Amino acid sequence: MPPDLDAAAAQAGNNSSDFVRKLYKMLEDPSYNSVVRWSADGDSFVVLENEKFTKTILPKHFKHSNFASFVRQLNKYDFHKVRHNEESGDTPYGRDAWEFRHPEFRADRKDNLDNIRRKAPAPRKPTQAEDAFPATQQIVVLSESLAATQHQIQALQEQYFELAQTNKVLVNEVVSLQKMVRAQSQVSNELITHLNNIEDRRRNSRHSNHSSHSSHSGPSFHPSTLGLLPDGADEPAPELRRAREILNGVSPDSQADRDLERLSVAYHQNGSPSDSATSSVMFTQPGAPPQMPLVHDPINDPRHMVYPVGQTTGIDPFHSDHIHNIPYSRPLSNPNIMTEAPSQSSPPAKEQFVSLWGSKKPKILLVEDDKTCARIGSKFLSNVDCSVETARNGLEAVDKINHESDRFDLIFMDIIMPHLDGVSATAMIRMVAPRIPIIAMTSNIRQEDIQTYFQYGMNDVLAKPFTRDGMVRILKKHLSYMLKDPQPIGLGADDTNQTAGAPGPGPPNSAGGYGGSGPAGVAMATMAGGGQVKFEQTPIQSPATTSSWHSPSQMPHTSPTLDSSGYMSAQIGSGPGGIVLTPGGTQRPPYANQVVPQVGTPTLGRMPDGMGLGDDRPEKRQRLYGPSQGQYVQ
């Protein structure tokens, strides 16, 4: 044996084969023969008596008494248990014996021990390298889903906040209603008392008239005995009594009252008392029908849900400023938020859009005060083959429309702008261009905001920061009649869309006053999607509609949905059914003054809502009334 090799082996051995050396040394000891020894061939070793080995030999040589650890250690050095049963069925060392073998571990090859090493953890390295790429991918995916989750949480927080706000308003409402009712019952009591007195006096006087001679027998006794008098005198009395009984019988649920009291006190401590102040003002005015709001509210509420079906499903969950491209309108497209990032990385869409339009390309007016946003928006639009003009504020936009009312096919309108804000501009534009779709572009997409936008004649909302896809979606939806191939929209209302849109944007007079229910109005209905069922309730609660359209036939119809199928196909897209069907139509009158009844008529229940809205955004309210008040110079 060459000495240099030996030395090398020894050196390596120091590092790696301590365990193997100990093992070999242990097997050299003949006194262990009955417990552990080399096999006959010297190519394996056998633990004959497991228990003894564990208790006596292991501690001596390996400083522990755990057979399992010993076996694990062996495995690490690539020893394997020899299975006898499987191979031949004979067990030369007894059933409880453990035989271990390693190809290099032999009784006659002590010099070879250094070749027995721990199994390298080698396999990991290559896999790690392979994993590296998927790992970054995973991180991307994870961080994306994390961001999405964060957005959701944030949105939920905001939703919660809004709900809390609404609840507060409601509680205040109920409290003031309670006061109202209490006052009413007090009034009733007073009236009854008063009537009683009159009654008594009248009875007395009649009684004294008829039987002035028998005076002292007491008035209460006479009515029952005198058969002639009761007609006038006796009959009202039980009614009064009943009335009083009823009044007394209605004892307030004191527990509920106390709870409510606590709530309202809590709210007053937390928030602005203005809500309750305004609402109580609202409710003391009407006097006579204090119950009406209660009766109407439940009917009124669905109306709130009607046009923004997206309001609950589309906006609320995601109305944070930080989310890009919130598809306000269609619950369908909500997943966009999640899928946006992936969809960005698929640019081939570009080619597809070149041929998006039919013979005529849409002309878009982009009203946006921010240079950067305007440039990006213009670029996105021209990229999908639209011609774009921009206006830097509401005033410029109004000028352009005044100059040529049918120049544009669609307007994207920023909300907060200097000189004239987008909502006011829209109201003005509606006077000359009742049909053109006007899309609010804004990061203020709380539902009160959106309600305002719709009330002043806007048709849809594109959340800021806007994306190209978001813009395209709006274009496809509102300019479906200009598409070369309108099929892809693939919505149930597509047919109506086409028929209504067929006349084109040119002659709006075909539908007379309600030109508003052109393609845009229908699109609103489209937007509401499956919400048609809800519309069934609209005719009940929308007196404005009935009065303005003078449609006597409307009330008898129980289901406007039926109407729509009848009338819409008859090209009267704006018949009574049509209007009711498309709340956008009613919400979007051509003239601003029609908005007022819209807001005002539907009972008191609605008013506090409006008030809350005003509270929230005082600066907007101000600016609605013209540029003079706007300190927003830019």
Partner 1 sequence: MSHTYDRDGEDSFNMAYFGDHVHLATFNQILEMDEDGEHDFSEPLVFNFFEQADETFENMDVALAAEDLDELSKLGHFLKGSSATLGFTKIKDSCQVIQQYGHKQTVEGTAEPDKAVCLGKIKEAINTLKTDKIDLEKTIKKFFGIEDK
Residue 570's contacts (CB-CB under 8 Å, 6 or more residues apart) are: none
CB–CB of 106/116 below 8 Å? Answer: no
| 417 φ, ψ (degrees, to nearest 5) | -145, 155
615 binds partner 1 (CB under 8 A): no
CA 273 to chain centre: 28
Binders in 392-451 for partner 1, by CB under 8 A: 416, 443
CB of 347 to partner 1, least distance (A): 5
Choices 96-104, 260-268, 371-379, 594-602; region in contact with partner 1 by CB under 8 A: 371-379
Choices 195-203, 366-374, 514-522, 529-537; region in contact with partner 1 by CB under 8 A: 366-374
Residue 319 tokens read as: 């109305």
CB–CB of 203/219 below 8 Å? Answer: yes
CB–CB of 410/380 below 8 Å? Answer: no
Residue 362's contacts (CB-CB under 8 Å, 6 or more residues apart) are: 386, 387, 409, 410, 475, 479, 482
623 binds partner 1 (CB under 8 A): no
How many residues interact with partner 1 (rule CB under 8 A)? 35
Residue from 467, 497, 532, 551 that binds partner 1 (CB under 8 A)? 467
Closer residue to partner 1 (CB): 360 or 375 = 375
80 binds partner 1 (CB under 8 A): no
380 binds partner 1 (CB under 8 A): yes
For the chain, the farthest-separated pair of C-alpha atoms sits apart, in whole angstroms, at 157
Residue 501 tokens read as: 């849109």
138 binds partner 1 (CB under 8 A): no
Choices 1-9, 104-112, 373-381, 565-573; region in contact with partner 1 by CB under 8 A: 373-381
Residue 62 tokens read as: 């390996």
DSSP β-ladder status, 44-47 and 98-101: antiparallel
Choices 14-22, 135-143, 250-258, 585-593; region in contact with partner 1 by CB under 8 A: 135-143
Q: Report the Cα–Cα distance between both ends of the chain, in Å, rounded.
A: 94
Residue from 60, 72, 80, 379 that binds partner 1 (CB under 8 A)? 379
CB of 379 to partner 1, least distance (A): 5
Choices 317-325, 384-392, 520-528, 537-545; region in contact with partner 1 by CB under 8 A: 317-325
43 binds partner 1 (CB under 8 A): no
CB of 60 to partner 1, least distance (A): 57
Helix (H, G, I), strand (E, B) or coil at 123: coil
318 binds partner 1 (CB under 8 A): no
Q: Amino acid identity, residue 277?
A: A
Beta bridge partners of 442: 463
CB of 372 to partner 1, least distance (A): 4
Residue from 78, 158, 199, 385 that binds partner 1 (CB under 8 A)? 158
Residue identified by tokens 């250094």 is 114
CA distance 65 to 73: 13
Residue from 269, 285, 487, 631 that binds partner 1 (CB under 8 A)? 631
Asked if the peptide bond before residue 486 counts as cis, ω within 30 degrees of 0, the response is no
Using CA atoms, how far residue 213 sits from 223, 324, 562, 602, in Å, is: 16, 94, 74, 61
CB of 328 to partner 1, least distance (A): 16
269 binds partner 1 (CB under 8 A): no
622 binds partner 1 (CB under 8 A): no
625 binds partner 1 (CB under 8 A): no
353 binds partner 1 (CB under 8 A): no
168 binds partner 1 (CB under 8 A): no
Closer residue to partner 1 (CB): 212 or 372 = 372
CB–CB of 413/367 below 8 Å? Answer: yes
Residue 486's contacts (CB-CB under 8 Å, 6 or more residues apart) are: 480, 494, 497, 498
99 binds partner 1 (CB under 8 A): no
212 binds partner 1 (CB under 8 A): no
CB of 152 to partner 1, least distance (A): 16
345 binds partner 1 (CB under 8 A): yes
632 binds partner 1 (CB under 8 A): yes
DSSP β-ladder status, 438-442 and 410-414: parallel
Residue from 464, 588, 606, 620 that binds partner 1 (CB under 8 A)? 464
Choices 26-34, 153-161, 217-225, 562-570; region in contact with partner 1 by CB under 8 A: 153-161
Provide the residue count of the chain: 634
Beta bridge partners of 196: none
Residue 321 tokens read as: 């400023």
Residue from 207, 400, 435, 468 that binds partner 1 (CB under 8 A)? 468
Residue 162's contacts (CB-CB under 8 Å, 6 or more residues apart) are: 316, 446, 447
607 binds partner 1 (CB under 8 A): no
160 binds partner 1 (CB under 8 A): no
CB–CB of 584/578 below 8 Å? Answer: no
324 binds partner 1 (CB under 8 A): yes
Residue from 127, 212, 251, 372 that binds partner 1 (CB under 8 A)? 372
Helix (H, G, I), strand (E, B) or coil at 569: helix
Query: Where do contacts with partner 1 occur on this chain (CB under 8 A)?
Result: 136-137, 140, 157-158, 161, 321-322, 324, 340-341, 344-345, 347, 350, 370-373, 375-376, 379-380, 383, 416, 443, 464-469, 631-632, 634
